[in-house]
Amino acid sequence: MRLRTPADGVCLESPADRYRMVRLIRGFEELALELVRSGDIVGGTHPYIGQEAVAVGVCSALRPEDQLTSTHRGHGHVLAKGADPARLLAELLGRTTGLNKGRGGSMHAADLSLGILGANGIVGAGAPIAVGAAWAAQLAGEQRVVVSFFGDGALNQGVLLESFNLAAMWQLPVVFVCENNGYATTLPAAVAVAGTALGRAEAFGIPAVAVDGMDTEAVREAALQAAARARSGGGPVFLECRTYRFEGHHTMERRLKVDYRPAEEIAAWRERDPLLRAAALIGDPTALDQEVSEQLAQAREFALNSPAPDPAGACDHLYASGLRPRAGAVA
Amino acid sequence: MSWLSYTKALNRALADALADDPSVCLLGEDIGAGLAGPTLGLQKRFGASRVVDTPLSEQGFTGVAVGAALAGLRPVIEFQIPALLFLVFEQLVNQAHKFSLMTGGQASVPLTCLVPGSGSRDGWAGQHSDHPYGLFAHMGVKTVVPATPTDAYGLLRSAIADPDPVVVFAPAAALGVRDDVTGPLPVIPLGRARVHRPGTDVTVVAVGHLVHEALALATELAEDGVSVEVFDPRTLYPFDWEALGASLEKTGRLVVIDDSNRSCGIGAEILATAAEQYRLTAPPRRITRPDGAVLPFARELDRALQPGRDQLRHAVHAVLKH
């Protein structure tokens, strides 16, 4: 089972394609929430609901050979770059059929064949990796673009600023995408980020643009320009996508009943739901909704019926050289 | 006959790797000028796009090397001082080392880190004198500490060719060592120990530059009729346990000399494994820096914390009493 994907060069080209992908990510995340509640997904997830326009807008501007690094809230990026939702769901369930054979889980989902260099559990850690992949592209004379997704919390990580400097000094084809959802876990950006997000990039001479992160088309337009600039040797671009997550930082929040966001604030952002905005650009979405619904039902069945890994293989893939570590607790 | 210095051996390994494989590239601070020695002349020969002077952004350029490795290059980073590894533990241990497993084998990170001048150089004080190989071995990052120029060449070549991250520690106190070399140098596989001198009474496992102290002591003790086997693991992770077992089968006695901190150090691992798996006729001993040591500036104080030949002699005599 496989979507038509950006890797095929077709999936996100029309507003209907993009609506479909927004719908798929929304439905996938809702399904994941259900499977967290049922206990099938262990460890929980970081829901992307509300931020879909960023992943879909940015990835619609990419070519199959382009690459990205993602965050711990990465399902949207991974799906929008073309990963198979059934295999991503199987990964969340820790099954052998998962993208990472059940070794990565939600926070480390990767599909190298699609240029997805991995979601990352450390805030900001993907940025230098994206810069490195872009440097490799530059050395190889390839016109690849690498997108580095990160949140507003990463703006305070030193390694992100080091990455800005290296990308700007070496004029590398990187698009830095800050998904500013207003909160670093529970800490509001207003009390965490001195100056502005754009100012951070501008200090390194990187062109910086703010865009409505609830609007797939606006994100796409900005990303197309950024990718074109990077692809033609113009160096990095910084996009600040102003967005919001409708759910908590992590599924654990519901259980803990933590409360740090005003209900009115959540309601106001829900009024600007990217799903509704993407739907408004197309005719009747019923058929697409039905298609996505069936796809997710199949993904659910595939993932839940996939086998769990054999504990004897817990150290498989630790070394690409095939080195087997000495047995420890599993002796 | 041609005398090859340790630093020149590293330089030759880097040059040969760059010449043999276009995906090999070097990153680091002051490597264009060749300030530390191993990269001398390489930027002129291979160009500034493959031998890249980086700004002082260790976390940034180490992460860049991880990304470049994921994208098909074989980067080598030179770190000017061992303490910089503490800054980039995130990039090396939490990212590079974990990628292969976390991606279910999709990705490998063929990244080499070279640390020329690890351990004490007189007068470099608290933040420039650590020898933190044990941290990497503990985390399972492939960790190499060559003692001789020939081994430095051969192991660095293997490290660069390896599909996994490898950290190569070149001890400061070994950089002055020279080997008599004729002809091309061999590539030496990771994970194989070297017995520098066979013996039957006691196995001395010496790490890095301390191999030379152990050899000097073995020569001295031979005059008293004591036969010391000098065992150089060369690679601390993976460790050549099989070779150690063979040595201990012969001698039954073990002393480890390791210029790093005692608690949770590689010496402790060697003693523990020997106690678990091999037949020892005497309680094993280890000589290390003190627990949690920070090397003081004054030369007398710096030397006082480092393992040396006198302590080794004492430990060998102690295990021979059994």
Express each pLDDT in A113-156 by its tens digit.
999 999 999 999 999 999 999 999 999 999 999 999 999 999 99
- Give residue A193's domain range: 6-313
- The CA distance from B145 to B209, in Å, is 9
Query: Residue A15 domain-assigned?
Result: yes
Alpha helices in B162-225 (DSSP H): 210-222
The domain spanning residue B158 has which CATH number?
3.40.50.970
State whether A103 and B108 contact (CB < 8 Å).
no
Whether residue B10 is found in the same domain as residue B121:
yes
State whether A67 and B106 contact (CB < 8 Å).
no
What is the tens place of the pLDDT at every residue in A234-291? 999 999 999 999 999 999 887 788 889 999 999 999 999 999 999 999 999 999 999 9
Give the residue among B56, B174, B190 at the shortest CA–CA distance from B115.
Answer: B174
Whether residue B115 is found in the same domain as residue B264:
no
Distances (CA, A) of A34 to A14, A31, A76, B219: 30, 5, 17, 72
- The CA distance from B66 to B99, in Å, is 10
**pLDDT at residue B217, as a whole number:** 98
State whether B63 and A169 contact (CB < 8 Å).
no
**pLDDT at residue A3, as a whole number:** 41
What is the tens place of the pLDDT at every residue in B195-245? 999 999 999 999 999 999 999 999 999 999 999 999 999 999 999 999 999
Query: Residue A326 domain-assigned?
Result: no
Query: Residue B231 domain-assigned?
Result: yes
Whether residue B24 is found in the same domain as residue B99:
yes
Query: Residue A74 domain-assigned?
Result: yes
Per-residue HEC secondary structure of B250-316 comes to: HHCCEEEEEEEECCCCHHHHHHHHHHHHCCCCCCCEEEEECCCCCCCCCHHHHHHCCCCHHHHHHHH
Query: Residue B138 domain-assigned?
Result: yes
The domain spanning residue A296 has which CATH number?
3.40.50.970
Percent of chain A scored above 70 by pLDDT?
A: 96
Whether residue B33 is found in the same domain as residue B167:
yes
Whether residue B140 is found in the same domain as residue B209:
no
Query: Residue B155 domain-assigned?
Result: yes
Whether residue B46 is found in the same domain as residue B113:
yes
Q: Is the confidence at residue B299, as pLDDT, over 80?
A: yes
What is the tens place of the pLDDT at every residue in B3-25? 999 999 999 999 999 999 999 99
Interchain CB contact of B15 with A (< 8 Å): no
Q: Which residues of A touch B61 (CB under 8 A)?
A: 128, 162, 166
Q: Is the confidence at residue A2, as pLDDT, over 80?
A: no
Of B50, B59, B102, the CB nearest to A128: B59
Of A122, A165, A318, the CB nearest to B60: A165
Domain count, chain A: 1
Whether residue B157 is found in the same domain as residue B212:
no
Query: Residue B220 domain-assigned?
Result: yes
Query: Residue A329 domain-assigned?
Result: no
Whether residue B155 is found in the same domain as residue B11:
yes
Query: Residue B94 domain-assigned?
Result: yes
Query: Residue B186 domain-assigned?
Result: no
Interchain CB contact of A74 with B (< 8 Å): no
What is the tens place of the pLDDT at every residue in A89-99? 999 999 999 99
User: What is the gyration radius of the CA atoms in chain B, in angstroms?
Assistant: 19
- The CA distance from A119 to B95, in Å, is 11
Q: Which residues of A touch B163 (CB under 8 A)?
A: 319-321
Going by pLDDT thresholds of 50, 70 and 90, the confidence category of residue B2 is confident
Q: Which residues of B touch A104 (CB under 8 A)?
A: 102-104
Whether residue B138 is found in the same domain as residue B226:
no
Query: Residue A293 domain-assigned?
Result: yes
Whether residue B102 is found in the same domain as residue B175:
yes
CA dihedral B109→B112→B113→B115, nearest 10 degrees, is 160
Q: Which two tokens stand for residue A54?
A: 């960023």
* Choice among B128, B131, B196, B209 that is catalytic: B128
The C-alpha angle with vertex B261 and arms to B257 and B267, in degrees rounded to 5, equals 40
- The CA distance from B256 to B247, in Å, is 13
Query: Residue B20 domain-assigned?
Result: yes
Q: How far is B161 from chain A (nearest CA, A)?
A: 10
Whether residue B25 is found in the same domain as residue B160:
yes
Query: Residue B187 domain-assigned?
Result: no
Domain count, chain B: 2
The domain spanning residue B295 has which CATH number?
3.40.50.920
- Give residue B223's domain range: 194-320
Residues of B numbered 147-186 whose beta carbons fall under 8 angstroms of chain A's beta carbons: which are they?
162-164
- The CA distance from B202 to B193, in Å, is 17
